[in-house]
Amino acid sequence: MREKIIQKSAELFLTLGFKSVTMDDIANEMAISKKTIYVHFANKTKLVEAVTFEVFENICEGIDGICNTSLNPIQQLYDIKLFVMHHLRNEKTSPQYQLKKYYPQIYQRLHLKQFEKMHDSVKESLQKGIDTELFRPNINVDFISRMYFNGMTGIKDDTYFPSELYTMEYLMESYLEYHLRAIVTQKGLLILNQFITTNQP
């Protein structure tokens, strides 16, 4: 039952927002009593916390799978972008922004875990790109990895990139191209241009 509650809550939070979904809403959607939810979660904050880290773990598993099977680091980044876009396809409410505003402590913990995960996998990917001569040999792998994380999380901030001006797909696509153009070699640029052409909406 705990897993079912997390699953349904994740669906509602990502679609309607952390703030607007109440425990009553979740109970009604699942046709169970609110007491049943409280057996597993002491309060809404505990439920939000469980949902947040469950979604994070699911995304991490998917990204690990892509990292193990991608042909090259450029394809890997595009595959991860598609996976994340598909996973968050029902987002209507900028959940990261709401999490930061209404549950700052959970957001801080999530942000740190995201950084640790992304920093390691991006560094590995950058090094692979250098080894295969797709990325410039003189780039600072640690610095670029930190910059990439900063940019990818920054574009999700509705304050600076309002959703009425930019879709998340546009932001991710544009930032990915911006990032890769700065580090590719001539050989890498040929592959990048192929992906840009095939990913044009």
Alpha helices in 2-90 (DSSP H): 2-16, 23-30, 34-40, 44-69, 73-87
Residues 6+ apart with CB under 8 A from 16: 25, 92, 93
Give the pLDDT confidence of 114-153 residue by residue, as tens digits: 999 999 999 999 999 999 999 999 999 999 999 999 999 8
How does the average pLDDT of the chain come out, rounded? 91
Range of the domain at 193: 43-199
The pLDDT of residue 16: 87
36 pLDDT more than 80? yes
Residue 63 maps to which CATH number? Answer: 1.10.357.10
Query: Could you give the maximum distance between any two Cα atoms of the chain, in Å?
Result: 61
Q: What is the mean pLDDT of residues 72-84?
A: 90
- Is the separation of the CB atoms in 85 and 79 below 8 Å? no
- Is the separation of the CB atoms in 12 and 91 below 8 Å? no
Does any domain span residue 112? yes
The token pair that represents 13 in the structure block? 């939070």
- Is the separation of the CB atoms in 173 and 81 below 8 Å? yes
pLDDT band at residue 187 under the 50/70/90 scheme: very high
40, β-bridge pairs: none
Does any domain span residue 140? yes
Does any domain span residue 130? yes
The pLDDT of residue 147: 97
Read off the pTM.
Answer: 0.82
Q: What is the number of structural domains in the chain?
A: 1
Does any domain span residue 66? yes
Does any domain span residue 27? no
Q: What is the mean pLDDT of residues 27-55?
A: 96
Does any domain span residue 37? no
Q: What is the mean pLDDT of residues 25-43?
A: 97
88 pLDDT more than 70? no
Q: What is the mean pLDDT of residues 25-49?
A: 97
Does any domain span residue 20? no
89 pLDDT more than 70? no
The pLDDT of residue 84: 82
Does any domain span residue 28? no
